[in-house]
Structure 1
Amino acid sequence: MKAALWYEKKDVRVEEVEEPKVTSGYVKIKVKWCGICGSDLHEYLGGPIFIPVEKPHPLTGNVAPVVLGHEFSGDVVEIGKGVTNIKVGDRVAVEPMVVCGKCPACKEGKYNLCSSLGFHGLCGSGGGFAEYTVFTEEYVHKIPDSMSYEDAALIEPIAVALHSIRQANFNTGDNALVLGCGPIGLATIECLKAAGASLIIVLQRKSIRQEYAKKAGADHVLDPNEVNIAEEVKKLTGGVGIDFAFDTTGAKIGFDIGIDSLKYAGTMVITSIWEGEVNFNPNVLVFSEKKIVGSLAYRHEFPATIAQMSDGRIKTEGYVTKKIALDDIVEEGFGTLTGPDKKKHVKILVTPDKSLLSDCKE
C-alpha cells in the first residue's frame, strides 16, 4: 500500500510499504481522509520533535522513517481477537494516543501525560497518511451516520482546542484572547463560542485568516502591525484586561502579547508546540498573580467533541480549504502550507482514495 513517510526535516516521501496486519485488541481501518496538522508541519520544517530518530520509541520500538498522519477517519475493515466494542463496517475516527497505561499519569486517567507518550502518525506505529492503518480498540471512536468523513477528520484538532479550554477552567461569561488563527486558533474560537464566551478577541496579521476568524465567531480581530494589542484589549475590557489568553502561535510575539493582555490573576494557556525557547521576566506573573498553563493534546475529549460537532454547537463550515490525493501530499500539502499561500489555508485534507476527490468542492 501507499503511505507518506517522514525521513528527516524537509524529507517526506510517498512510498509503497507493507499493509499492516491486525493483532489482538486492534482494529484495521481503511482511511478515508486525514488532515495535515501543525505538528506535522513542525516535524517537516524543524523536526524531529516527537518523531524518534536515534533512540527507538519506548512503546513502538521504531525509529524514522515513520508513517505520518494522526487526524483521520475511515471504515473498520477487520478486527482482532478480543475486540468487542468495534465491528467491521463501523465508521470511525481515531484518538491517536500511544500510551503505556501503567505510569502514574496513565493510572490517574491523564494518559496524554504518559511518561512514554507517542502519537500514532509520529512515533512509528503507523499513521493516517496511508491506505490502511491499525490501532488499539480503546482509542477508536464510532462517528454518527450523520457526520461526514471529512468532519470526522477534524475531531482531533477540535479536541485539542476543547482540552485547552478545560485546562483554563474557563466558565460561561468569561472573555478570551486567541493568539493566532490557524487550525487550532479557529477551533479554539469555535469551542469558546460553544462554552459561552462573552467576548472573543483574536490576534491575526492581515491575511484571509482575519476573515476566517470573523466567520468562526471572533468579536474583534486585531493586527499587531497596526495596533498595540494589549492596549486595545484593555480598551475593549473596560481597562481591566482579558480573563484568558490562548496561544496557538508558538512565537514570542504571541507569548508576550498574551501575558501583557491578561487581567490580574488571568490565565494564559499555551497550546502551541515550540521549536525554540522563549525568555520572560517572572515578575510579570508574581506582581499580578497571572498564570501560565500548558495544554497537550486531549484526554477524554473525543466523545464531547463528537457530540458538540454533531449537534451544531461546534461548526466546521469553511474549515477545510483544500483536498488532495496522498500522491500529491509533498507538493500540494506540505509545499502549500509552508509556501507563500500558507495563510490562505486552514486545513488541507488528504485521501489515499482518488475517487473521493471527484465529489470534492474546494
Structure 2
Amino acid sequence: MKAARYHDRGDIRIEEVPEPVVAPGTVGIEVAFCGICGTDLHEYLDGPIFVPPHGHPHPISGEAAPITLGHEMSGTVYALGEGVDDLAVGDSVVVEPYIVRDDVDTSTANDSYHLSPDMNFIGLGGRGGGLSERIVVQRRWVHPVGDLPLDEAALIEPLAVGYHAFQRSGGSAGDVALITGAGPIGLLTAAVLRAEGITVIISEPSPLRRRKALETGVAQHVLDPTTQDVVAEVLALTDGVGADIAFEATSVQPALDTLVEATKPRGVVVVVSIWGHRGELDVQKLVLKELDLRGTIAYVNSHPATIALAREGKVDLKPFITGVIGLDELVDAGFDTLIHRNETAVKILVDPRR
C-alpha cells in the first residue's frame, strides 16, 4: 500500500509499504481522510522533533525514521482482531493516536497518561500513520463516531486538542478569551470555547483566516495585529480589565508577548502550539500580574466529549475543511501550501486512495 514516509527534515517520500497485520486486541482501519497538522509541518521544517531520528529507535515503538506520518485520521473498520467484540466491520471511527507503555493506566481514572515517560504519537513515533491506505491500532485508541461524516471526523483529533486546552485554562461560561492565531488549532479551540459560552477574541494577520473566524462564528471579535493594537483593543472590549484566559496558537514570539500584556492580572495563558525553537518570556510581567502560564499537550480522555460536541451540532467542523488532496500531492499541494501560502488554507485533508 502507499504511505507518506518521513525520512528526515525536508525529506518526505510517498512509498510502497507492506499492509499492517491485524493482531489480537487491535482494529484494522481503512483510512478515509487524514489532516495535515502543524506538528507535521514542524517536523518537515525543523525536525525531527517527535519523529525518532534514523538510528535512534523510539523506546516504546522500537521504530526510527523513516516512519509513516499522519495522526489526524478517520476511517472505516475493515477487520477486528481476536478479543475485540465491541466494534463492527464498517463502523466509522477516529484514532486517539498515542504511543505509551503497556503498563500505563489509560482509563478514565488517570488524567495524565499523556504525560507518561517516552509518550509519543502514532504517525510521528511509529506504529503506522494516517497518511497511508490502512492502519492497525490497539482497540483502546479507537473511538466510534456514529454518523458523523468522515471528512469532518478527521478534525476530531485537533478539536480534542482545543478541548483539552480549554480544560487546562479553567475557563467557564461568561469568560473572555483571547487567541493568537486562527490556524486550525486556534479556530478549533475557539469553536470549543464558543460552545462552552465563552466570548472569543482572535488576533490573526491572514485575511482569509480572519474571515473564516467570522464566517464560522467561532469569534465575536477578530483583530488584525498588523494594523491594530491588539492589547489596546482587548482592554477596550473588557472595560480595561483584560482577557480572563488566553491561548497561544502560533509559536510566534510577538503573539506570546501580546498575550502576557493583554491578559488580566491573575489570568491564565495557555501555550497550545508546538515550538520548534526557544521562546522568551518577560518573567517580571508574569510576576507582577500573578499570571498563570500553562502548557498543554494533546488531550487526555477528551475524545468522547469532543465527538459529542460535533455530533450534537455544538461545533460545525465542515467549514474548516478548505481542501482535499491525494497522497501523491502531499508535499506540493499540501505542505507547500501550508508553509508558503498558509493564508489561503485552513485545514487540508488527504484522501489516501484518491
Amino acid at match of 1:89: G
Could you say what secondary structure the match of 2:318 adopts? coil
Shift, 1:105, TM fit: 9.1
**Take 1:28 and 1:316, find their aligned partners in 2: how far apart are those partners?**
25
**Take 1:33 and 1:175, find their aligned partners in 2: how far apart are those partners?**
34
In the alignment, what sits opposite 2:149?
148
Structure 1 length normalisation: TM-score? 0.94
Amino acid at match of 1:18: P
In the alignment, what sits opposite 1:118?
120
In the alignment, what sits opposite 2:249?
248
In the alignment, what sits opposite 1:10?
10
**Take 2:352 and 2:278, find their aligned partners in 1: how far apart are those partners?**
37
In the alignment, what sits opposite 2:41?
41
User: How do 1:100-249 and structure 2 match up within 5 A?
Assistant: 100-102=101-103, 108-145=110-147, 147-197=148-198, 199-217=199-217, 218-249=219-250
In the alignment, what sits opposite 1:304?
305
Task: Render the CA deviation track for 1:300-346: whole Å, top value 9, x for unaligned.
Answer: 1111111110111011132110101112112111121112x221101
In the alignment, is the contact (CA less than 8 A) between 2:182 and 2:213 conserved in 1?
A: yes
In the alignment, is the contact (CA less than 8 A) between 2:105 and 2:113 conserved in 1?
A: no
Deviates more, 1:327-336 or 1:95-104: 95-104
Shift, 1:104, TM fit: 8.3
Task: Render the CA deviation track for 1:164-211: whole Å, top value 9, x for unaligned.
Answer: 0001111111110011000001101111110101x2111111421110
Shift, 1:23, TM fit: 1.2
Amino acid at match of 1:293: R
- Is 1:270 the counterpart of 2:271 in the alignment? yes
**Take 2:348 and 2:123, find their aligned partners in 1: how far apart are those partners?**
16
Task: Render the CA deviation track for 1:242-265: whole Å, top value 9, x for unaligned.
Answer: 101101011101110011101010
Task: Render the CA deviation track for 1:94-150: whole Å, top value 9, x for unaligned.
Answer: 1111111535898834111121211110011100010111000011011112x1110
Deviates more, 1:81-90 or 1:295-304: 81-90
**Take 1:179 and 1:115, find their aligned partners in 2: how far apart are those partners?**
30
Task: Render the CA deviation track for 1:44-78: whole Å, top value 9, x for unaligned.
Answer: 11111100014211111000000000111111111
In the alignment, is the contact (CA less than 8 A) between 1:23 and 1:81 conserved in 2?
A: yes
Amino acid at match of 1:13: R
**Take 1:113 and 1:162, find their aligned partners in 2: how far apart are those partners?**
17
Amino acid at match of 2:122: H
Task: Render the CA deviation track for 1:254-304: whole Å, top value 9, x for unaligned.
Answer: 110011101010000010000111222322121121110111000111111
**Take 1:87 and 1:227, find their aligned partners in 2: how far apart are those partners?**
53
**Take 1:110 and 1:140, find their aligned partners in 2: how far apart are those partners?**
19
**Take 1:51 and 1:290, find their aligned partners in 2: how far apart are those partners?**
33
In the alignment, is the contact (CA less than 8 A) between 2:206 and 2:343 conserved in 1?
A: no
For structure 2, the residue ranges without an aligned partner over 5 or more in a row are none
Amino acid at match of 1:326: L
In the alignment, what sits opposite 1:335?
336
User: How do 1:33-112 and structure 2 match up within 5 A?
Assistant: 33-53=33-53, 54-102=55-103, 108-112=110-114
**Take 2:45 and 2:288, find their aligned partners in 1: how far apart are those partners?**
38
**Take 1:2 and 1:32, find their aligned partners in 2: how far apart are those partners?**
13
Call closer, same or farther: CA 1:282–1:101 in 2, change over 3 Å: farther
- Count of equivalent residues: 351
Deviates more, 1:205-214 or 1:29-38: 205-214
Shift, 1:85, TM fit: 2.0
In the alignment, is the contact (CA less than 8 A) between 1:93 and 1:140 conserved in 2?
A: yes
**Take 1:97 and 1:286, find their aligned partners in 2: how far apart are those partners?**
35
In the alignment, is the contact (CA less than 8 A) between 2:28 and 2:78 conserved in 1?
A: yes
In the alignment, what sits opposite 1:346?
346
Shift, 1:84, TM fit: 2.5
CA RMSD of aligned residues (A): 1.4
Shift, 1:214, TM fit: 1.0
